[in-house]
Amino acid sequence: MAAISLQTATMAEEVKLFGTWASPFSRRIEVALKLKGVQFEYIEENLSNKSPALLEYNPVHKKIPVLVHNGKPVAESLVILEYIDETWKHNPILPTDPYEKAIARFWAKYIDDKLWPAATKVLVSKGEEQKGVTEEIQEQLKTLESELKGKKFFGGESLGFVDIAANIIVFLLVAQEALGLMEILTEEQFPVLHEWYQRLVDDAVFKECVPPRERHLGFFKVRFGSSTASK
């Protein structure tokens, strides 16, 4: 058994991110750290062979992402995002007003509680069921769209908490393309959200934090391919 030595606090900031290249949750943390210009060491985990370090830093869930700051671990992507925002205060991703903050937290939770489960379901369902889940996702996207209210991003002029959480949509659309699924975020049905989406994927920081396209398409084909294609 490998000896595990936790890094002791040093004069310099030591920031490590345990993640996986294809996980939207892991990529969220990259976006936040890059927005704040925080230097970090990235450790790619193999989820079928988790490192002793990961198991030590997140014994409760044994999942990525985990942020380790000067030896102290923080787990759960939305919790990590808030930690990052409170620790490195420039380029804030959450509003300062408590009400606006509550709204941002509400929508991030909505994305994780509703959109994420539906997105994972659409990849494994077939036929009528898949059609049903797609419609469900589209209703959720309509609900999200109404929250944009003429802003460039959910966070206002620049990327914020909800935009970062909404990276799941990017992953969903890559999956849709990889598996030949029914088109989800059409410009016709979602004129406002579609524009936001283009802005998001063009954002200088955000676009550094998405999985490499070809590899990502391949990932979905291998994992969920076969007979799921339905138009």
Partner 1 sequence: MADEIILLDFWPSMFGMRVRVALAEKGLKYEYKEEDLRNKSPLLLEMNPVHKKIPVLIHNGKPICESLIIVQYIDEVWKDKAPLLPSDPYQRAQARFWADYVDKKPYELGRKIWSTKGEEQETAKKEFIECLKLLEGELGEKPYFGGEKIGFVDVALVTFSCWFHAYESFGNFSIEAECPKLIAWTKRCMEKESVSSSLEDPHKVHGFVMGMRKKLGIE
Q: If 0-12 CB within 10 Å is exposed, 13-18 middle and 19+ buried, where does residue 102 land?
A: exposed
**Segment interacting with partner 1 (CB under 8 A) among 18-26, 32-40, 72-80, 185-193:** 72-80
Draw the binding track, 130-149, toward partner 1 (x: CB under 8 A; -: no contact). -------------x------
**Residues in 194-223 that interact with partner 1 by CB under 8 A:** none
Draw the binding track, 87-116, toward partner 1 (x: CB under 8 A; -: no contact). x----------xx-xx--xx--xx------
β-pair type (15-19, 41-44): parallel
Of 46 and 96, nearer to partner 1 (C-beta) is 96
Maximum CA pair distance of the chain? 58
76 binds partner 1 (CB under 8 A): yes
- What span, in angstroms and rounded, lies between the C-alpha atoms of 2 and 8? 18
Q: Can you tell me whether residue 42 is helix, strand or coil? A: strand
Cis omega (within 30 of 0) on the bond before 65? yes
**Segment interacting with partner 1 (CB under 8 A) among 5-13, 31-39, 82-90, 204-212:** 82-90
Of 30 and 85, nearer to partner 1 (C-beta) is 85
Backbone angles phi, psi at 93, to 5 degrees: -105, -15
40 binds partner 1 (CB under 8 A): no
- What span, in angstroms and rounded, lies between the C-alpha atoms of 177 and 15? 35
**Which residues contribute to the site for partner 1 (CB under 8 A)?**
60, 69, 72, 74-76, 78-80, 82-83, 86-87, 98-99, 101-102, 105-106, 109-110, 143
